Amino acid sequence: MPHLIVEYSANLSGFPEAQMLAELNQTVTASPEIPDEIELKSRCVAHASYAVGTQTTGRAFVHAQLRLLSGRSPEAKLDFSQRIVDVLRRLTPQPEGVLVQLSVEIVDMDRPSYIKTRL
Amino acid sequence: MPHLIVEYSANLSGFPEAQMLAELNQTVTASPEIPDEIELKSRCVAHASYAVGTQTTGRAFVHAQLRLLSGRSPEAKLDFSQRIVDVLRRLTPQPEGVLVQLSVEIVDMDRPSYIKTRL
Amino acid sequence: MPHLIVEYSANLSGFPEAQMLAELNQTVTASPEIPDEIELKSRCVAHASYAVGTQTTGRAFVHAQLRLLSGRSPEAKLDFSQRIVDVLRRLTPQPEGVLVQLSVEIVDMDRPSYIKTRL
């Protein structure tokens, strides 16, 4: 059931989208909290239209959001964040003269109203 | 005030975006919880960059997220999910040899800080 | 740490993305709640595939979502919404014969599991 959304500012040219998603999915599904790897649906979005603070150049960001059914412990959620930020740190390009911010957010999804099925 | 976001993996070629949004809006606004149909703002996003679990092919997903002002009952929220998944199931293409996951999530939006207006 | 996401329906042609983000970042970071302007990561997304209610033409929307670490007072959150909607109202184009809905949503992000770092 988890959903992972990775967004990044498009000035991070060469951002390795496919590798990023592959390695993120590897580490996230390796958590004991995820019983079946197939449940993790991940996507990557490059933003050509972005702004970081009030300065127009020299800044970039990557933000990953993991959406999980509610009920995980604070420790389990923090563990997910750490798994994710480790991959972001390793694979995000660092263009010369650009300050790159990385962030990871865990979101609880409302469990009673969540529906999942397969065609 | 509700917002509906439909995301799908781009390997679902032929995904009927306009029809999907039209039929979703029809059924969601038919709920007694929605006093005015014009309030529902829906959008559809195809993801060319995605990964489902740790396998690189043969998998697809559609995820719908409905964002509502907080205060709905659990029953009302589940009813929205059911209305939505019925449409997803009916209209999502099923490519040969592809396992397609469908999911629906209801999100409570913070009511006191929400602002809406019209130009 | 805040994230700002501005979405709009693509029938708002001439939507001034760069100016919108610049002025939003200016006013949001001017809040005493934001200690460092560089922390605000904003992006703008045009939706070519959208539907407002059950009518197919003559309607448009702009939605801004500000994601903040949890713990802000209701007053502080409402103040952010007002800062944002003022800019939306001022800069959103109003095409002839199109009803344009504006909305602003504040989201609390789970603080204990949030990670941010810089490369």
Burial (Cβ within 10 Å: 0-12, 13-18, ≥19) of residue A16: middle
Whether residue A71 has pLDDT greater than 90: yes
Residue C100 and residue B118: Cβ atoms within 8 Å? yes
Distance, CA of A89 to CA of B57 (rounded, Å): 26
**pLDDT for res B56:** 81
Report the DSSP beta bridge partners of residue C65.
C5, C105
Q: At B18, list the tokens.
A: 């306009």
pLDDT bin (cut points 50, 70, 90) of residue A56 is: confident
Distance, CA of C89 to CA of C102 (rounded, Å): 8
**pLDDT for res B104:** 98
Select from A3, A27, A43 the residue whose CB has the most chain B CBs within 10 Å, as the one to mutate to test that interface.
A43
Provide the shortest C-alpha distance from residue C77 to chain A (in Å).
19
Whether residue A76 has pLDDT greater than 80: yes
Closest-CA residue of chain B to C104: B115
Residue B54 and residue A117: Cβ atoms within 8 Å? no
**pLDDT for res B92:** 98
Closest CA to B5 of A17, A98, C7, C68: C7
| Successive 10-residue mean pLDDT values, chain C, 119 residues | 96 98 98 95 98 95 98 97 98 97 98 97
Residue range A1-24: mean pLDDT, rounded: 97
Closest CA to B69 of B113, B117, B25: B113
Amino acid at B29: T
Report the DSSP beta bridge partners of residue B42.
B4, C51
B111 Cβ partners below 8 Å, 6+ apart?
Answer: B69, B70, B71
Average pLDDT across chain B, whole number: 97
Q: Are C119 and A92 in contact, with CB atoms under 8 Å apart?
A: yes
Closest-CA residue of chain B to C103: B116
Grouping H, G, I as helix, E, B as strand and the rest as coil, residue A101 is strand
Tens digits of residue pLDDT in B44-71: 999 999 999 999 899 999 999 999 999 9
Residues of chain B positioned with their CB less than 8 A from the CB of A1: 103
3-state secondary structure labels for all residues of C4-65: EEEEEECCCCCCCHHHHHHHHHHHHHCCCCCCCHHHCEEEEEEECCEEECCECCCEEEEEEE
Closest-CA residue of chain C to A45: C45
Average pLDDT across chain A, whole number: 97
What secondary structure does DSSP assign to A33-48, as a single string?
T-S-GGG-EEEEEEES
Length, in residues, of chain B: 119
Phi, psi of A46 (to 5 degrees): -90, 130
Distance, CA of C97 to CA of B32 (rounded, Å): 29
**pLDDT for res C73:** 97
Distance, CA of B8 to CA of B65 (rounded, Å): 12
Domain C3-109 is of which CATH architecture? 2-Layer Sandwich (3.30)
Residue C45 and residue A49: Cβ atoms within 8 Å? yes
Residue range B84-113: mean pLDDT, rounded: 98
DSSP state of A55: B
Residue range A72-80: mean pLDDT, rounded: 97
Give the angle A109-A110-A112 at the CA atoms, nearest 5°.
140
For A78-95, b/e burial (b = at least 16 CB within 10 A) is bbbbebbbebbeebbbee
Nearest CB to A37: which of B50, B54, B106? B54
The CB density around residue B32, as the number of other CB atoms within 10 Å, is: 7
> At CB < 8 Å, which residues of chain B contact A?
7, 9, 47, 49-56, 59, 61, 63, 74, 77-78, 80-82, 84-85, 89, 92, 94, 99-108
> At CB < 8 Å, which residues of chain A contact C?
7, 9, 47, 49-56, 59, 61, 63, 74, 77-78, 80-82, 84-85, 89, 92, 94, 99-108
The CB density around residue C49, as the number of other CB atoms within 10 Å, is: 17
Tens digits of residue pLDDT in B2-17: 999 999 999 999 999 9
> At CB < 8 Å, which residues of chain A contact B?
1, 3, 17-18, 21-22, 24-26, 29, 36-46, 67, 109-110, 112-119
